[in-house]
Structure 1
Amino acid sequence: MSRSSSGFVAGLTAAAVAAVGFLAYQASASAPDGLKHPDKTPTAAPRSPKDKKNPTAVPAQSGSGKRVVYSLEDDRVWLVEQSGKPQITFKVTPGTVDPAPGTYTVSSRSGSVTGTDGKPIEHVVRFTTVDGVAIGFSAAVDGSTPKPDPSQKTGGIRESRAHGDAMWQFAVISQKVVVVP
């Protein structure tokens, strides 16, 4: 092959690589949020058997290490230390949109904002979105934990102010959050 044809082939190859890179960028820009960030994509969590003798025990199938565990069925949260022992566990009031069981990471936090119900909330710890609805833990400034309006799509998992303070201290950006059925 002559020098001029090898330069031509190199030019075609460079153009093809650039085109593929551009198409990959376009595909990633329009991908759903969970696919853009693979570490936020839920992984299936096996059903956690309940400990009949100790119903507040950390669910057996919630993984290991330091993590926040949220039980959809029990409306309960555990802040679990690296050792596997719970620092604290408490009941919560979920929003109308639930996350799928799986493993997530804390993706954003806000000290104080207005909730979707119009109430001032604090210590917001978000870990995923479902159909455009942000899912996360928060505490109403007035301390209330009312049932959400079923006609609204809300992802706020409400906790008391004291529990909100504990969550805020524990669940920093990238902290693992495990959602069990």
Structure 2
Amino acid sequence: MAARLPSWAWVTGLTAGATAAVVVLAVQANHGPHPTAAVADQKPSASAGAHASTAPHASAPPALPDASGQGRRIVYSVGEKRVWLVDATGRAGRTFAVWPGTVSPQPGRYSVTLRIQSLKGSDGVEIEHVMYFTKVDGVNVAFSNALDGSSPPPADGKKLGGVRMPKADGAALWAFGDKGTTVAVVS
């Protein structure tokens, strides 16, 4: 006669199987196509959170600036306080608002020179996804996001070259821009 398994063993086995199935589906979904639409009029919020305010009736994302170059690149508009991630065909797959530091680069073409996973920013905030692309008057200019997702505090007269962004956008930029990736800065 075969021994019967207790009901807790069946429940444990079924739960483990369901969890494994969910993990497999999540991994497959992560490798599939992702939506790339951005929300128009997206501005960084003044609150400690990194979520931008969005209009529920938003239409198209802000257009990629005309004089931003060709090919795969990161476009940073100093005046619009916005970044676009542009693929090799010239299509902006993602755009988002940023919080620039007190030091801004001149319009031109740069490239990512150094990537650092995380460190303490010159304003004392723990940051991640740090991507340096130029230096202005001895101040390094780099994209980053706060580790806790917060917006940067007031500068208090300091020269700061950090171009901060919400946490999810920082992760997207980090995944997009390798060392040597072109950064087109426009006014």
User: Under a length normalisation based on structure 1, what TM-score does the superposition of the two structures give?
Assistant: 0.69
Contact 1:96/1:150, CA 8 A, preserved across alignment: no
Number of aligned residue pairs: give it: 129
Which amino acid is 1:80 matched to? V
Which amino acid is 1:86 matched to? A
How much has 1:148 moved relative to structure 2? Answer: 3.7
Which amino acid is 1:116 matched to? S
Match of 2:100 in 1: 94
Between stretches 83-92 and 140-149, larger displacement belongs to: 140-149
- Map of 1:90-169 to 2, 5 A cutoff? 90-146=96-152, 148-169=154-175
Measure the CA separation in 2 of the matches of 1:99 and 1:150.
Answer: 20
Contact 1:96/1:148, CA 8 A, preserved across alignment: no
- Map of 1:71-86 to 2, 5 A cutoff? 71-86=77-92
Measure the CA separation in 1 of the matches of 2:105 and 2:162.
Answer: 11
Match of 2:177 in 1: 171
Which amino acid is 2:184 matched to? V
Matched position secondary structure for 1:89: strand
Measure the CA separation in 1 of the matches of 2:172 and 2:151.
Answer: 16
* Greater than 2 Å deviation, 4+ residue runs: none
Contact 1:62/1:69, CA 8 A, preserved across alignment: yes
RMSD: 1.4
Matched position secondary structure for 1:88: strand
- Map of 1:23-62 to 2, 5 A cutoff? 56-62=62-68
More helix by share: 1
| Equivalent of 1:67 in 65, 73, 98 | 73
What are the ranges of 5 or more consecutive residues in structure 1 without an aligned counterpart? Answer: 1-52
Over 3 Å counting, the alpha-carbon distance change for 1:101 and 1:150 in structure 2 is farther
User: Under a length normalisation based on structure 2, what TM-score does the superposition of the two structures give?
Assistant: 0.66
Measure the CA separation in 1 of the matches of 2:105 and 2:111.
Answer: 13
Which amino acid is 2:136 matched to? V
Which amino acid is 2:173 matched to? M
Matched position secondary structure for 2:179: coil
Identity of aligned residues (%): 49
Contact 1:71/1:180, CA 8 A, preserved across alignment: yes
Match of 1:8 in 2: none
